[in-house]
Amino acid sequence: MEPQNLTDISEFFLLGLSDDPDLQPLLFGLFLSMYLVTVLGNLLIILAVSSYTHLHTPMYFFLSNLSLADISISTTTIPKMLVNLQTHSKSVTYTGCLAQVSLFSLFICLESLLLTVMAYDRLLAICHPLHYLVIMKPCTCALLVLASFSISLLSSLIHYLVMSHLNFCAHVEIPHFYCDLSQLLTLACSDTSTNSILIYFIGTIFGGVPLSGILYSYKRIISSILRVSTSGGRHKAFSTCVSHLSVVCLFYGTSIGVYLSSTVSSSPRKGAVASVMYTVVTPMLNPFIYSLRNKDIKSALWRIISKIPHLNTHAIDFCFIGLKKAAKSNMCNKKF
């Protein structure tokens, strides 16, 4: 089905985060470095999970797919912004904007569903450990990921259909660094009340249902952990959920924060700045959260890094020692 742009508008203009020309090189360097860290960190997670057999478990299988979704979210939004900053251009084609809206919806929904699947995986591992390996077979894990992708694809298709039938006015400036559907609805000339209701309904279904599933899973998990007799057992059980719980809080916390900031603030540009948190910062931090709090991932990543040719591990150790000394020095200075 071809998109029907009733006003024959061929392009939109992304206003970005700032109009100050002096800030453009700084923004370009900042977002380029964040994008490279995001891609490298998540690729290392995927490489570690696929390379070592002791990581071939359901939890790490879902983690590698989550890393792939993080890369996709950042790739959908950041490269176009970097190109516009470098070329001093703000334009994006109608087709490109349509594709960006659809892909962004696809990967955001996929991340939300994968986090729900990971919560279900932790629920089975802690509450039903004897049946865990029987239930979470490789084919079951693959079906859960495939179902998550299919549902996300449905969400993306709905967003595509909504945008492809919008009648746009002559003023096509988007106060954002990517094509945001809510901003596009405000630019439409025709009545968008039905479209707005549909979008909010879809957002509630594809956002609220997964979040409810996560909350229910952790309610069961916490209840099961509290019944463990020893403190060591409780700590061991809860430690397997800390990384996932941190990522869930980061993802949904920033998403809800962006929504609240857009409803409270009258400036769309402030909403664009706030959306950087869950479109750029969250995908970048996820690999660090899982690698820093997970001994298996940490050791696998260290093995991969140590195999890189011409890498001076002594220099890395020296840097870590220097950072530790600097941190201790700062703590001492704060005490005095």
Domain ranges of the chain: 11-306
Q: What is the mean pLDDT of the chain?
A: 81
pLDDT > 90: what percent of the chain?
28
Highest mean pLDDT among 6-20, 67-81, 83-97, 225-239: 67-81
Mean pLDDT of 199-223: 87
**Res. 106 pLDDT band, cuts 50 70 90:** very high
Q: So what's the pLDDT on residue 264?
A: 60
Q: Which CATH number fits the domain 11-306, given the four candidates 2.60.40.420, 3.80.10.10, 1.10.1750.10, 1.20.1070.10?
A: 1.20.1070.10
Q: So what's the pLDDT on residue 270?
A: 66
Q: So what's the pLDDT on residue 129?
A: 87
Contacts of 110 (CB under 8 A, 6+ apart): 69, 72, 148, 149, 152
Q: Which of 304 and 145 is assigned the larger pLDDT?
A: 145
pLDDT > 70: what percent of the chain?
84
The whole-angstrom separation of Cα 148 and Cα 107 is: 10
Q: So what's the pLDDT on residue 332?
A: 47
**Predicted confidence (pLDDT) at residue 333 exceeds the cutoff of 70:** no
Q: So what's the pLDDT on residue 269?
A: 64
- Read off the pLDDT of residues 167-190 as tens digits, 9 standing for 90 and up: 777 667 888 888 888 778 877 777
Highest mean pLDDT among 99-108, 191-200, 204-213: 99-108
**Res. 218 pLDDT band, cuts 50 70 90:** very high
Mean pLDDT of 193-220: 85
- Read off the pLDDT of residues 131-163 as tens digits, 9 standing for 90 and up: 898 999 999 999 999 999 999 999 899 888 888
- Read off the pLDDT of residues 260-291 as tens digits, 9 standing for 90 and up: 666 665 566 666 777 788 788 889 988 888 88
